[in-house]
Amino acid sequence: MTTEIFRNMQIPDSGNFYNGTLHSLLLLNESLSLLCYPCEDSMVDPTTNLMEIWIMKDYNIYESWIRKFRIIGLPTDSPLAVWKDYILLFQSKSGYLMSYDLNSHEIKELNIHGCKKSMRAINYKECLTPIPR
């Protein structure tokens, strides 16, 4: 039998949002990652309207957070997930599912539409190991 230990962790300081930052945890390149983006009602610095993706290189060491991506001006209030380590999925302000290639900066509309903020994305990893009952 194992014992799990839970700790508080410091997150990186993303100082581009004056009154509200939202965060989503991600797995990116097999590392704990954090997506930082402004909440809908926050006052965003107009010169840096952006999202940031941070990667923690050494678990539970604050200084190991590295800003990997800065994404400027995406038409979204609702980032969803990172797929295949380089494609950010998001719902556009008009309701369409879209992708943003973190390497090439290409934006694509994926021809799926929903009500504003209605879409969700869930990452999973297949495993052949049985789950104990």
Asked whether residue 63 is domain-assigned, the answer is yes
* Total number of domains constituting the chain: 1
Asked whether residue 9 is domain-assigned, the answer is no
pLDDT at 99: 95
pLDDT at 17: 53
Task: Please give the structure tokens belonging to residue 94.
Answer: 């008009």
Q: What is the pLDDT along the chain (133 residues), one digit of tens a residue?
A: 578 888 888 888 766 555 577 888 888 888 989 998 877 666 655 545 678 999 999 887 888 999 999 998 888 877 899 989 999 999 988 889 999 999 999 999 998 888 877 888 887 777 778 877 7
Can you spell out the DSSP letters for 20-42? -EEEEEEEETTEEEEEEEE-TTS
d(C-alpha 102, C-alpha 28), whole Å: 12
- Which backbone phi and psi does 100 adopt, to 5 degrees? -130, 120
CA-derived radius of gyration, the chain:
16
Long-range contacts of 113-118 (CB under 8 A, 24+ apart): 116/77, 116/78, 116/91, 117/77, 117/78, 117/91, 118/91
d(C-alpha 25, C-alpha 34), whole Å: 5
pLDDT at 66: 94
d(C-alpha 86, C-alpha 13), whole Å: 23
In this prediction the pTM is: 0.78
Asked whether residue 1 is domain-assigned, the answer is no
Asked whether residue 69 is domain-assigned, the answer is yes
d(C-alpha 94, C-alpha 77), whole Å: 10
* Domain assignment of residue 72, given as a range: 21-113
Burial class (CB in 10 A: 0-12, 13-18, 19+), 90: buried
Asked whether residue 122 is domain-assigned, the answer is no
Asked whether residue 60 is domain-assigned, the answer is yes
